[in-house]
Chains A and B, each alone.
Chain A
Amino acid sequence: MNRGKPNQLARCHACGQVQSLARSKQESHSQQEASSRQAPPAHTKCIRCHSHVSLRIPQSIHKTWALLITAAILFIPANLYPVMTVVTFGSGEPATIFSGVIQLIQADMIPIAALVFIASILVPLFKLIGMAFLLTAIQRQWRINQQYATVMYRFIHFIGRWSMLDLFMISILVTLVNMESVARILTGPGATSFGALVVVTMFAAHTFDQRLIWDLLDKDNHK
Chain B
Amino acid sequence: MSEANKAQGEETRDQIEGAREPLLELRDLATWFRTDEGIAKAVDGVSYKIHPGETLGLVGESGSGKSVSALSIMRLVPSPPGFVERGGIFFKGESLLSIPDEDFRSIRGNEIAMIFQEPMTALNPVYTVGDQVMEAVILHRGLDRAAAREHAIQMLTKVGIPSPETRVDTYPHEMSGGMRQRVMIAIAMSCDPALLIADEPTTALDVTIQAQILDLILELQQQAGMSVLLITHDLAVVAETAQHVAVMYAGKVVEYASVEDLFAQPRHPYSIGLFRSLPDLAKQGKRLTAIPGMVPSATRFPSGCRFRPRCSIATDLCASSEPPLVSLEAGGVHTVACHHLEEARGL
Asked if A and B are interacting partners, one says no
